[in-house]
Structure 1
Amino acid sequence: MTNIPSPQTLDPAPGLNSVFMDLYEQPGYLFRRAQQISVSIFYEILGDEVTPIQYAILRMLHERPGTDQKTLAGLVALDTSSTATTAERLEAKGLIVRELHIAGRRQRLLFLTPEGQRLLSSMVDGVRKMQDEMFRNFRPEERATLMRLMHEFVSVNNARSRAPLETSGSVDAPPTKARRKGPAGRRR
């Protein structure tokens, strides 16, 4: 197993404040690296027929067929624009259909196609294998602790996300409509 360098093993450049040499101890950096590793393992084990975000949308549509795009965005914690673009791609692949909602006129309701359902079903074993691979060097109690802490971190910071998770009645992620301003005061 390769360890990331500790700040003590790096020679700071003259004139730089030591705070900049602490990168490998910063949570944001480690979360980004964990995401990179997670995505790499996803593609290694499950292939590249769908992306991790497309998989999340397929999973949610399996659980909640006929969800409109705006609600779906909240359920998978994506902005509505990215959700719409991803839904278009999944529809082009023949994995979902988007139907205009008669009452809502502008709303589109999303459903898995039989091909989408087959693909999702074929991924079940791979997803289990992927999760086992991510935690292969962890003892069961370490895995449980890490998962508990990640749930807690995401839950207590949900409203700070540019695309908060919006579910009804969830203990892990309370419903929220709060949106934070992005850089330069733009709304996302």
Structure 2
Amino acid sequence: MKDNNDMPGHLARRFQQIAVAVFLAEVGEAGFDLTPVQYAALATIKANPGLDQVTLAGLIAYDRTTITGVVDRLVQKGLAERRASSRDRRARELEITEQGRRTLRKITPAVDSAQRMMLRGLSAKESEDLMRLLRKAIAAGNELSRAPLRDLQA
């Protein structure tokens, strides 16, 4: 029987646990109440003004049913807002608020610190290699996910 440390799924889950814990600690210490998914959603809304929730879900590889709750919390916190679409009255477009912009600006050092801390046991070369290999494995398995990553053209 294989040891858990020889199983990529176990190691990926452990790294995810560490990544979330480090992110929440760094961001919390900086005075912000934002989860990694909320941060990713907010940054993506800023980069793509007017996008809809389904597109947002695809851009951050999050399932469509759960993205509603993520956006609800961003709206409740005053960081984003839903507006009626100019193209389709039934659709809702997402926009970042001024408070959301300020939050992204102020939270960036904590997020950067968290990213460095996640890789702190690795040399610069090992960090590059890990990131390259993670991207490669994720790209190869993207379509196997229940929430595949989509690009904006998809």
Letter in 2 for 1:87: V
1:51 pairs, out of 12, 35, 47, with 35
Matched position secondary structure for 1:66: coil
Deviation string 1:40-60 (CA, Å, 9 cap, x unpaired) is 000111115111100000110
- What does residue 68 of structure 1 align with? 52
Identity across the alignment (%): 38
Deviation string 1:129-161 (CA, Å, 9 cap, x unpaired) is 111111122111100000000000111110000
* Gap regions ≥5 residues in structure 2: none
How far did residue 80 of structure 1 move? 1.2
Tell me if structure 2 keeps the 8 A contact 1:69–1:107.
no
1:39 pairs, out of 8, 16, 20, with 20
TM-score by length of 1: 0.76
Higher relative contact order (CA 8 A, sep 6+): 2
How far did residue 28 of structure 1 move? 0.4
Tell me the distance in 2 between the aligned counterparts of 1:168 and 1:121.
24
2:62 pairs, out of 68, 72, 78, with 78
- What does residue 124 of structure 1 align with? 108
Deviation string 1:91-135 (CA, Å, 9 cap, x unpaired) is 011110001214323321101111111111111111111111111
Letter in 2 for 1:161: S
Report matched runs for 1:163-174 at 5 Å.
Answer: 163-168=147-152
1:96 pairs, out of 63, 80, 103, with 80
How far did residue 168 of structure 1 move? 4.0
Question: What is the RMSD computed on CA atoms of the aligned residues?
Answer: 1.4
Tell me the distance in 1 between the aligned counterparts of 2:97 and 2:152.
26
- What does residue 131 of structure 2 align with? 147
Matched position secondary structure for 2:120: coil
Larger Rg: 1
Tell me if structure 2 keeps the 8 A contact 1:77–1:164.
yes
1:28 pairs, out of 9, 15, 31, with 9
Tell me the distance in 1 between the aligned counterparts of 2:116 and 2:4.
28
* Gap regions ≥5 residues in structure 1: 1-18, 170-174, 176-188
Equivalenced residue count is 151
Compare 46-55 and 26-35 and name the one that shifted more. Answer: 46-55
